[in-house]
Amino acid sequence: MMQQTITKLKFILMIKLRNRALFFVFFLGCLISARAQEKVIDRIVAVVGNNYILQSDLETQYQQMLSAQEPVDGNTRCKIMEELLYQKLLLAQAQHDSLDVTDGQIEQELERRMKYYIQQFGSEEKFTSFYGKSVEDYKAELKDDVRDLLLEQQMQSKVSADITVTPNEVKEYYNSIPKDSIPFINAEVEVGQIVKKPAVTAEAKKEAKEKIEGLRLRILSGEANMSSMAALYSMDPGSASKGGLYEHIQRGQFVPEWDAWAFKLKPNEISEVFETVYGYFIIQLIERRGDEVDARSILIAPAVDASDMYRAKMSLDTTYIRLTSDTATFSDLAAKYSDDEESKNSGGLIINPFTGSTRFQMDEIGQMDQTIVFSIDKLKVGEYTKPMPSTTSDGKQAYRILYLKTRTLPHIANLVDDYQIIQSAAIAKKQQKAVQVWIKKKSADTYVHIADDFKDCTFNNKWIN
């Protein structure tokens, strides 16, 4: 029973990962892993509507579970098969309902996820060397798979994403769990931060603006082209290596100033120099397709020197004195002075990207930045670190104060300390019921064929009518 309860808790995590498109990391990893393997004889093991499941699809996910050291048994392949059947049924219904995703959405998703994998390898060159193909070749191969995945996500949102539970339903769910099966909760922490980025001096801004204006004049005069100037001088890590090229950029994807220029330029026209929170840009439009553009851009960011960093630290020193002298609350000071937009709007608390909550499990590797883990190790609840150097999410240097709001010891889950976890599990159970009802209804109206060697599987749903 304990394992069943824990499985239910894990189910909601999978739902959240898929809804946040983080499940895509696992899915895309499976696809890449499959393409890295030697070719073997493949076969169709199931058909749902016009979509099929290959033996290699199933085996890739099975090997991925082994690599992740997840528990497997004789029924694991059947469980994977049922999850794949559900995905294909979602896809079949999305196709039936004429749902659609744009090329821009697909490209954006591919670009974001490929950046993740390149980061894991350390560089695009190492990625290409390992797989023997360029990033663009991989993206081309995966385009159809990603389109299907995005359609499945859209359809799943219609099935279960809007399901909620009342506090009374949460309590009823918790009371329904046998006492010896209530899950064990690992040690958790809630951590806040106040971030201070170094102020950019007028002189540094002037130098940056003059530099990019000089580059623009060289391009306009024909002395150089936009691509080579971007490759040599642009400080934008997302495009400099590609000659400043951004493709399939949708309106609203970048900062407003970038959009304002990109969507009013004519093809090959170069913008004036304009300022954003990142620095100074110029853009050259390549092509516009409605609310989507291809463009080249160059970014020159104002330089930050040691004196700017020192002033940022001094500002946080003052904040630290106010914190430790009890003249103001952490949340108030974070809201007023922190330069980190996401955490300042949650009382200074750092949000866990895997769960959307402010709690981080200390035993879960990768949930929290290890520099934070090290920094709060000796703190007591309610204490603060002194201002320390840090790096912001966009790679810029800054200073920050860390605050340990809560630390819970490993314990049996309860409604007071773990309401969010129990609420998530209650929602998962309700979602699971909704999914089962949906599968029963839609599988009755959809062609489903499963290979004979899987017909003895004990599925949770009736797939063959």
Taking residues 291-317, what's their average pLDDT? 90
Q: Do 24 and 88 have their domain in common? A: yes
403-437 per-position pLDDT tens digit:
999 998 899 999 988 898 899 899 999 999 999 99
Q: How confident is the model at residue 289 (pLDDT cuts 50, 70, 90)?
A: confident
Listed in sequence order, the residues at least 6 apart from 256 whose beta carbon sits closer than 8 Å to its beta carbon are: none
428 token code pair? 């998962």
Q: Do 107 and 47 have their domain in common? A: yes
460 domain-assigned? no
CB half-sphere exposure, 296, CA atoms < 13 A: 21
Q: Do 427 and 340 have their domain in common? A: no
Q: Do 38 and 175 have their domain in common? A: yes
363 domain-assigned? yes
Q: Do 194 and 339 have their domain in common? A: yes
What CATH number did the domain enclosing 440 receive?
Answer: 1.10.4030.10
Among 265, 300, 335, residue at a domain's last position:
300
Taking residues 214-233, what's their average pLDDT? 94
9 domain-assigned? yes
What CATH number did the domain enclosing 324 receive?
Answer: 3.10.50.40
Phi, psi values for residue 111, rounded to 5°: -60, -45
Looking at residue 358, what DSSP letter applies?
S
Distance, CA of 395 to chain centre: 17
Taking residues 278-304, what's their average pLDDT? 91
463 domain-assigned? no
Q: Given a cut of 50, is residue 6 above it in pLDDT?
A: no
Q: Do 389 and 335 have their domain in common? A: yes
Residue 4: what pLDDT? 42
Q: What is the pTM of this model?
A: 0.55
Q: How confident is the model at residue 136 (pLDDT cuts 50, 70, 90)?
A: confident
18-51 per-position pLDDT tens digit:
333 333 444 444 444 444 444 446 899 999 999 9
Q: How confident is the model at residue 364 (pLDDT cuts 50, 70, 90)?
A: low
Q: Do 220 and 150 have their domain in common? A: no
Q: Given a cut of 70, is residue 399 above it in pLDDT?
A: yes
Q: How far apart are CA 384 and CA 403, in angstroms?
A: 5
Above pLDDT 70, what percent of the chain?
A: 90
Above pLDDT 90, what percent of the chain?
A: 51
User: Per the structure, how many domains does the chain have?
Assistant: 3
Q: Do 288 and 144 have their domain in common? A: no
465 domain-assigned? no
Among 250, 277, 300, residue at a domain's last position:
300
Alpha helices, H only, 122-235: 124-131, 135-156, 167-176, 202-220, 226-233
Full residue range of the structural domain in which residue 328 is found: 187-198+305-409
464 domain-assigned? no
Among 373, 393, 409, residue at a domain's last position:
409
459 domain-assigned? no
93-113 per-position pLDDT tens digit:
999 999 998 888 888 888 877
Q: How far apart are CA 318 and CA 182, in angstroms?
A: 46
Q: Do 105 and 237 have their domain in common? A: no
Q: Do 26 and 40 have their domain in common? A: yes
Residue 365: what pLDDT? 57
Taking residues 279-289, what's their average pLDDT? 93
Q: How far apart are CA 397 and CA 313, in angstroms?
A: 11
Q: Do 127 and 215 have their domain in common? A: no
221 domain-assigned? yes
326-352 per-position pLDDT tens digit:
778 999 999 999 999 889 889 999 998
CB 45 within 8 A of CB 81: yes
Q: Do 287 and 325 have their domain in common? A: no
More confident residue, 397 or 124: 397
Residue 31: what pLDDT? 46
Q: How far apart are CA 298 and CA 277, in angstroms?
A: 14
Looking at residue 356, what DSSP letter applies?
S
CB 296 within 8 A of CB 241: no
CB 348 within 8 A of CB 330: yes
More confident residue, 294 or 10: 294
Residue 125: what pLDDT? 81
